[in-house]
Structure 1
C-alpha cells in the first residue's frame, strides 16, 4: 500500500503560486467561454448547425482526454517516480504550448475560407484543448499534493478562486474594448488573443516556480501495476461525494456556458450596448473578493457544502427574478449587468470553492480504496465539467438557430430577442437547482467521516 510523505509549512508563496495557475490558464480559456461563439458566427461565418456538430465532436474529445491525462500522470509517476514531482513537470511542458496554440486558434483559421477553413479550425481547436488539458489537469491535481489539512485545502481553494477571478476578468476587459473599436473582425480577436496568451504564459511559469508538491504518495514501484486506467470506475460505485461533485460539475458548467456563450448576444442584440460588458468586472470582482475572504470562516462555522448550497439557491432566485422583470419591463443595460452579475457571482461561489471539496473527495477515496490517484479523480471531475460545457455550449449554439438568430440582420425579431432572454437568464437558474440537489441529497461526507480520513492519513504518514 502507498504511504504518504508530508512536508510542513504551506507558505504565502505557495498560495500565491497556486493562484497563478488558474490565472494563467483562464487568460486564454475565458475567451473560449465568453467570446468564441461570436468569433465562429460573426468572423468565420460558420453555420450554426455545422458549428453545433463541431462543438459536439470537440467536447467529446475534451471529455475523453481529461480522465486519460489524469490517469496517465498517476500511472507514469507510479512507474518512474520522477524526482521533480508527479504534476509540476507537466506544467513546464504545457505552458509554452498553451500560449502558442491559443494564438494560432484565433488567427490562422481567418486566413482560409469554406471547407478548408473548417478543417483548419477543427484541428486548431483540438490542439489548443489538448494543450490546455495538459496544463489544467496537473494544475488542479496539485492542490491535493500541496494540502495536508482541511485548512490548507480551503486556503488553496481561495487562492485558486482569486486567480480564476482575475484570469477571467482581464480578458473580458480587453476583448470587448477591441470589439467596440474594431468591430467583429479578425484583427480584434487576433490582437486580444495574443495579448491574453502572452500574459497567461508569464503566470503559468510563475505557477510552476512558486509551488511545491508537499504531500507525495510514495507508491512502491512493484505496486505500480495496481494503478490502472479503470480505477475510476470503482470510484463512481463507492464514492458518493465524488458522484455529487460530478453532478454539480455538469449542472454548474451548463449554467456557466449557456450564459457566457450567449452573453454577447444579450448585450449587443437585446440591450444594444456590447461595450458595457467590460464593466461587469467592476461588479463581479469586489463581490468575488468578499466571498473568497469570508468563505473560509463561513465554511468553518456552517460547513463548506452548506454554504455552497445556500449560494446556489440565492443565485437561482436572482436569475428567476430577473427573468420575470425582463418579461414585463424594458431593463436598462446597466441594471441587467449589475443584477445578472450578482446572480452569476453568488452562484459561482460553488465554482471558486469546489476545489477543496475535490481534495476532500480524493482523501475519502483513499480511505475507501487504499489508492491515492489524484490525477484520475481530478481528470474525471473535469470530464463531468466538460459534459456540462458540451451540453451548455452546443445547446446554446443550436438554440440560436431555433430562435431564429441571423447574424446578417441589422435587428433581430421580437421572438428571437425573447429567446435570448430565456437562454441567458431563465435556463441558468434551472441548472442551479440541479447543482443544489447534488449537494443536498447525494454528498455524504460527515464530520465522522472526516475524522476517519484524518486518522488514516496520520497513520500512513507515521509508516
Structure 2
C-alpha cells in the first residue's frame, strides 16, 4: 500500500511501532496475573481475606519509596545505549521471573511464612515491574516528537495491553487444573511473556530523550517542582486513584464465576465478553479522535460503562447469556477508557515541561507506575475487606455462607459505580485539551515561541 502523508510524517517505521507495542503483551499479562488472580491464589493457599488485605496495604509502603526513587534514577543514570531502553531490557527477564516467585509459595509452610514469602515475592515483582513500566511509556516520548504519532504508539500498545488482559483472564481458569495448579500455570504463562517482550530490543530508537549536549539533568528540586506545578497530572491521577481503588470487579471474576454462576470455568467467558471488545476499541481510537475531542470520548465511555454496571446488577445473575451480552457492550467503553488513559500521561508531561521548563518525563511516568500499582493494591485490599465482611471462608473448596452469591454480585456490580461517583467531580477539574497540547509540544521543542503558543490556545494555562 502506498504511504499517505500521515505515514510519511512519522519518524518511526511500522516494524519499530510493532516491536515497541508488542512489549505490552507480556508485561501486561504479568500485571493481570498479580492483580486479578493473586488474591484468589492467596485465599486458596489458606491466607484469610483480612490478612491478605493487610498484605496488600503493607506492600504499598514499599511502593511509596520504590517508584519515586526509580524516577530519580531514570533521570540521573546515563547509559551509553539510551535513557529508557537499557532498563526495559533488564525487565524482560526480571518481570516474568519475579511473577513466578510470587505464585510459588510452598504448601507446607506455616501461615506466617506464607505471608512473608508473599510479601517478599511481591516486593521483588513490584520493583521489576517498575523497572519496565516507567521507561516503556516514557519511551514513546523519546521515539517521536509528533503528538499524533505518540498517540498511535500508545494506542497500539494498549491494543496488545487489551490482549494481555484477555489471555490470562480467559485461559488461566480453563487450564489451571490441567496444568497442575497455580505455580505450573503461572510458569507457562510467564515463559510466553518473556518471549513477547523480546522484540523491543530490536529496531526501536530513542530520538528525543532530553540528553543532548546542551541539556543538563534536572536537579531534585526541579523534579519536585515539575510534579508540584503539574496540576493536571495530579488531578488526573487522584481521580483515577479514587475510581480504580473501587474497581474491585477485576479481582473477583473467579469468585463470581464459582459462587454466582456455579463454576470457575465461567470466568473465562466473563473475561471473553469484557476483554475482547477493547482490542477493537484500541484500534478505533485514532480515527475517532479525528472527529471527537479526546477527553470527551474518555468521559462518555467511562460514564457509559458504569451505567451498564447498574443495569447488569438489576438484571441479576440468573440469566448468564443476558449478562454476557451486556458485558460485551460494556467492554467497548472499557476499551476506550483503558486506551485513552495512557495518552493523557504524555499530555501532562508536555504541560509540565511547558509550565516549568524542566524535562523530567521519568518522574511523571514513575508517578504513573506508582498510582497504577496503588490502584491495583487498593482494589485488591478493598475487595478482600468486602469479602471478609460478607463472611467469605478461605481455603480452596471451603463451604461458604448461603447468602454469599447475592452479596458477591452486589459487590461486583455496584462498588465500581460508587468509585466513579466520587471521582467525577475531580475529573471535571481536568482542562487540558488536544489543540493546546499540540501548541505546548511545539513550544517545548523550540519550533514556536511561547507567545505564539499562547495565541493559538483555547484557554490560558
TM-score interval, normalised by the smaller of the two chains: 0.7 to 0.9
- Separation in 2 of the partners of 1:72 and 1:126? 18
1:74–1:227 CA contact under 8 A, matched in 2: no
Q: Does 1:372 align with 2:359?
A: yes
Describe the SS at the equivalent of 1:441: coil
Aligned to 2:294: 304
Residue correspondences, number:
440
Structure 2 residue aligned with 1:443, among 431, 441, 453? 431
Q: 1:165 matched to which residue of 2?
A: 162
- 2:453 match: none
CA distance in 2 between partners of 1:446 and 1:139 (Å): 22
SS of structure 2 residue aligned to 1:358: helix
The answer as to whether partners of 1:103 and 1:190 remain within 8 angstroms in 2 is: yes
Q: Equivalent of 1:121, from 118, 123, 142?
A: 118
* Counterpart among 178, 186, 199 of residue 192 in structure 2: 199
Change (3 A) 1:110 1:29: farther
* Pick aligned residue for 1:101 from 98, 102, 108: 98
**Mapped partners of 1:151, 1:418: distance in 2:** 46
- CA separation of 1:130 and 1:345: change in aligned 2, threshold 3 A: farther
Corresponding residue for residue 136 of structure 1: 133
1:272 to partner: Cα distance: 0.8
- Alpha-carbon separation, structure 2, partners of 1:447 and 1:310: 20
Question: Which residue among 231, 241, 249 is the counterpart of 1:259?
Answer: 249
Q: CA 1:353/1:38 → structure 2, altered by over 3 Å: closer, same or farther?
A: same
More displaced 10-residue stretch of structure 1: 47-56 or 401-410: 401-410
RMSD, matched Cα: 2.5
Q: Which segments of 5 or more consecutive residues in structure 1 lack a partner in the other structure?
A: 1-6
CA distance in 1: counterparts of 2:440 and 2:114, whole angstroms: 56
Deviations 1:264-323 (A, max 9, x none): 111101111221222245434542133122211222222111100110010111011111
Q: Do the aligned residues in 2 keep the contact of 1:347 with 1:432 (CA within 8 Å)?
A: no
Aligned to 2:454: none
- Is 1:151 the counterpart of 2:148? The answer is yes
Alignment of 1:290-329 (within 5 A): 290-326=280-316
CA apart distance, 1:212 = 1.7
CA distance in 1, matches of 2:129, 2:391: 33
Say whether the 8 Å CA contact 2:17–2:153 is kept in structure 1. Answer: yes
Distance of 1:452 and 1:178 partners within structure 2: 49
Q: In the aligned structure 1, how far is the partner of 2:437 from the partner of 2:336?
A: 24
2-structure distance, mates of 1:147, 1:439: 28
> What's the offset of the Cα at 1:427?
0.8
Q: CA deviation at 1:252?
A: 4.2
What secondary structure is seen at the aligned counterpart in 1 of 2:373?
helix
Q: Structure 1 269/215 Cα, relative in aligned 2: closer, same or farther at 3 Å? A: same
- Residue matched to 2:348: 361
Moved more, 407-416 or 14-23: 407-416
The answer as to 2:404 corresponding to 1:404 is no
Q: What pairs up with 1:181-220 in 2 under 5 angstroms? A: 181=178, 187-218=180-211, 220=213
Equivalents in 2 of 1:207, 1:247: separation in Å? 31
> 1:343 aligns to what?
330
Distance of 2:338 and 2:206 partners within structure 1: 23
Shift of 1:149: 1.5
Q: Could you say what secondary structure the match of 2:209 adopts?
A: strand
- SS at 1:110 equivalent: coil
User: Structure 1 pair 146/354, CA: closer, same or farther in 2 (3 Å)?
Assistant: farther
Range 399-408 or range 426-435, more displaced? 426-435
Pair 1:227 & 2:224 matched: no
Cα–Cα, structure 1 residues 107 and 24, in superposed 2: closer, same or farther, change >3 Å? same
Q: Which digits, 9 at most, give the CA deviation of each residue in 1:156-177, with x for residues without a partner?
A: 1111111101112222233101
1:177 aligns to 2:167 (yes or no) = no
Runs of 5+ consecutive residues of structure 2 not aligned to the other structure: 1-8, 450-461
Q: 1:109, 1:121 within 8 Å by CA — same for their partners in 2?
A: no
Structure 1 Cα separation of the partners of residues 64 and 143 of structure 2:
26
Relative to structure 1, is the Cα distance of residues 285 and 419 closer, same or farther in structure 2, using a 3 angstrom cutoff? closer
- Which residue of the other structure, out of 414, 418, 441, is the alignment partner of 1:430? 418
SS at match of 1:54: helix
Cα deviation for residue 390 of structure 1 reads: 2.6
Greater per-residue helix proportion: 1
Kindly tell me: are residues 140 and 367 of structure 1, through their superposed partners in 2, closer, same or farther at Cα, counting changes over 3 Å? same
Q: Give 1:274's match in structure 2, choosing from 234, 242, 264.
A: 264
Distance in 1, matches of 2:331 and 2:62, equals: 28
Question: 2-side partners of 1:215 and 1:460: how far apart?
Answer: 17
Question: Contact between 1:27 and 1:200, CA under 8 Å: does it hold in 2?
Answer: yes
* Partner-residue secondary structure (3-state), 2:285: helix
Which one scores higher on RCO, CA 8 angstroms, separation ≥ 6?
A: 1
Change (3 A) 1:47 1:280: closer
Confirm or deny: 8 A CA contact 2:23 2:197 kept in the other structure. yes
Instruction: Give the superposition deviation at 1:459.
Output: 3.2
